[in-house]
């Protein structure tokens, strides 16, 4: 019975939705291959702006920013994933305990407080305890807001794993540590990997909080791009944007595929 599911015009709305979501990105991606120095005139297909990103006058600045972004994202997402995995074990396999509601609220708090409020409060905190803003403060701030993004896929995965597997291992005289390492951890892996990937992307992409706690002279890729864009959109920015776009799409696709593959096995 197709009739009740079909509403005329809904397909058109869906197309509008996708056009709105993708048109700006597609336009920038196309213009990043523009051979002309002007951002308005089309000068044929060329990779010159991609070359400019790596060897041009701003290459050093963007290179340093990219290095900061990548190392921060790597450390913050790895630490957040470890913390989130422990939290998921307690929340899903800890039975009923006091403070469960509060713990749940705490894990998800970074998702509920507006970003700009997190940014302001974190800056105030670091300034009060006398920690100079820089690499370390960015790292600490990122670690905090990455936790819920890592937690969600891990907890969802753990919820879907039945207790029998560990039970069987324990019945065969495996210690709890062995049952965890040999049975539960491999089963949780798809959730852990996609949690890590999402946390990594969230850290790599953050602008607002980083902008508050980065301090003078310290840049990550988004803050460096923001600084350049304030002077006007230049072609090399479009090339960098397209590269970052590619990285995001790659990571999310990986998270999606790993998660889907994970769902097919137990």
Please, which residue, 113 or 182, has the CB nearer to another protein? 113
SS3 content of the chain, % helix, strand, coil (to 5): 75, 0, 25
Contact 220, 156 (CB under 8 A): no
- Whole-angstrom Cα distance, residue 176 to residue 167? 10
Burial of 34 (0-12, 13-18, 19+ CB in 10 A): buried
* Shortest separation between residue 60's beta carbon and another protein, angstroms: 21
Residue 131 sits in the site that holds another protein (CB under 8 A): no
CB of 107 to another protein, least distance (A): 6
Stretch that binds another protein, among 45-53, 56-64, 143-151 (CB under 8 A): 143-151
Q: How many CB atoms lie within 10 A of CB 252?
A: 14
Angle between helices 135-159 and 100-112 (to 10 degrees): 130
Among 47, 124, 185, 254, binds another protein (CB under 8 A): 124
Q: Whose Cβ is closer to another protein: residue 75's or residue 252's?
A: 252
Quick one: 52 or 202, whose CB is closer to another protein? 202
* Separation between Cα atoms, residue 250 and residue 185, nearest integer Å: 25
Closer residue to another protein, CB minimum distance, 75 or 83: 83
Q: How far apart are CA 99 and CA 228, in angstroms?
A: 47
Cα-Cα end-to-end distance for the chain: 34
**Of 28 and 59, which CB lies nearer to another protein in the complex structure?**
28
Q: Which of 37, 71, 175, 248 binds another protein (CB under 8 A)?
A: 248
Taking CB under 8 A as the criterion, the residue among 97, 172, 177, 264 binding another protein is: 97
Tell me, residue by residue from 169 to 208, as one string, x for binding to another protein by CB under 8 A and - for no binding. -------x---------------------x--x--xx-xx
By CB under 8 A, the residues from 55 to 84 that bind another protein are 82-84
Question: Around 145, how many Cα atoms within 13 Å sit in the side-chain half-sphere?
Answer: 28
Which span (47-55, 57-65, 237-245) binds another protein, by CB under 8 A?
Answer: 237-245
Q: Which of 139, 137, 119, 141 is nearest to 212 (CA)?
A: 119
Nearer to another protein, 9 or 44 (CB): 9
Total residues interacting with another protein, rule: CB under 8 A: 102
Q: Is 132 in the site for another protein (CB under 8 A)?
A: no
Q: Does 254 participate in binding another protein (rule CB under 8 A)?
A: no
C-alpha triplet 264, 146, 117: angle, nearest 5°: 140
Calculated CA dihedral for residues 264, 258, 27, 39, nearest 10 degrees: 180
- Is 256 one of the binding residues for another protein (CB under 8 A)? yes
Q: Does 89 bind another protein (CB under 8 A)?
A: yes
């Amino acid at each position: 019975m197709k009739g009740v599911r079909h509403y005329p015009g809904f397909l058109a709305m869906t197309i509008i939705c996708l056009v709105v979501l993708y048109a700006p990105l597609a336009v920038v991606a196309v213009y990043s291959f523009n051979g002309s120095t002007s951002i308005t005139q089309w000068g044929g297909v060329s990779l010159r702006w991609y070359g400019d990103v790596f060897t041009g006058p701003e290459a050093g600045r963007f290179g340093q920013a990219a290095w900061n972004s990548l190392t921060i994202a790597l450390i913050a997402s790895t630490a957040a994933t470890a913390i989130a995995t422990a939290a998921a074990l307690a929340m899903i396999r800890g039975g009923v305990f006091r403070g469960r509601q509060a713990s749940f609220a705490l894990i998800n708090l970074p998702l509920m407080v507006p970003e700009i409020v997190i940014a302001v409060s974190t800056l105030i905190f670091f300034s009060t305890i006398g920690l100079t803003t820089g690499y370390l403060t960015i790292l600490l701030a990122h670690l905090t807001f990455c936790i819920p993004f890592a937690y969600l896929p891990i907890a969802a995965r753990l919820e879907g794993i039945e207790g029998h597997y560990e039970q069987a291992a324990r019945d065969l005289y495996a210690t709890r540590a062995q049952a965890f390492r040999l049975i539960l951890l491999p089963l949780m892996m798809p959730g852990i990997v996609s949690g890590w990937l999402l946390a990594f992307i969230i850290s790599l992409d953050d602008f607002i909080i980083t902008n508050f706690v980065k301090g003078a002279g310290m840049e990550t890729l988004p803050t460096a791009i923001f600084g350049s864009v304030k002077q006007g959109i230049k072609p090399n920015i479009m090339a960098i944007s397209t590269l970052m776009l590619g990285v995001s799409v790659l990571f999310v696709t990986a998270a999606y595929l790993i998660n889907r593959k994970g769902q097919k096995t137990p």
